[in-house]
Amino acid sequence: MARMHTRKIGKSKSRKPPVEEAVLPHGVKQEDIVKAIVEYSKQGMHQAQIGQRLKEQHSVPYIKHMFNKRLTAILDENGFKHDIPQDLMDLLKKAVTLRKHLERNHGDMHNKLSLQRTEMKIWRLSNYYKGTGKLPGDWKYDPQKVALIIKAD
């Protein structure tokens, strides 16, 4: 299958090693890992940063193999549910920074194209999240409102 924004051909596959039975590292309990996840979230870390920190400092290779649920589900159970999913929020931040750049640099054609591609991804992802119920059905991408939301964070 071809890639969406390039002319290259790619193959979708998982690169994670198959794990039949997940075993926690010696001396580490699930409660300790959940406490660490909650603490990192209180510090303001994003989900990717939390996962990286758990791999480096706590020797937890994959959270899903250990808990049979994703990091997002663990955060939701402990009261850290966000209104907008993290991947969509990252795209929104990228779009806001690209718009600020284009206000100063009107002739930057490469970043105009990059902004168009980012906004297409935002629209597709928001349609997906509306269909799954993670976003309200009346949610719309408005660059001015998004800039205010990003500034408030």
- Could you report the per-residue pLDDT of 35-75, keeping only the tens digit for each? 999 999 999 888 889 999 998 888 888 888 888 888 989 99
Domain spanning 86-152: CATH 1.10.287.10: yes
Is residue 143 a contact partner of residue 99, using CB atoms and an 8 Å limit?
yes
More confident residue, 91 or 12: 91
Q: What percent of the chain has pLDDT over 70?
A: 82
Residue with tokens 């660490």: 36
Q: pTM of this prediction?
A: 0.73
Burial per residue of 118-136, b for 16 or more beta-carbon CB atoms within 10 angstroms, e otherwise: bbebbeebbeebeeeebbe
Taking residues 131-137, report their average pLDDT: 92
> Any idea where the domains of the chain sit in the sequence?
30-77, 86-152
Nearest to 118 by CA among 134, 102, 136, 96: 96
Q: What is the pLDDT of residue 86?
A: 87
Other CB atoms within 10 Å distance of the CB of residue 11: 5
Q: Which two tokens stand for residue 70?
A: 């994703």
Q: What is the mean pLDDT of the chain?
A: 86
Nearest to 84 by CA among 148, 149, 34, 152: 149
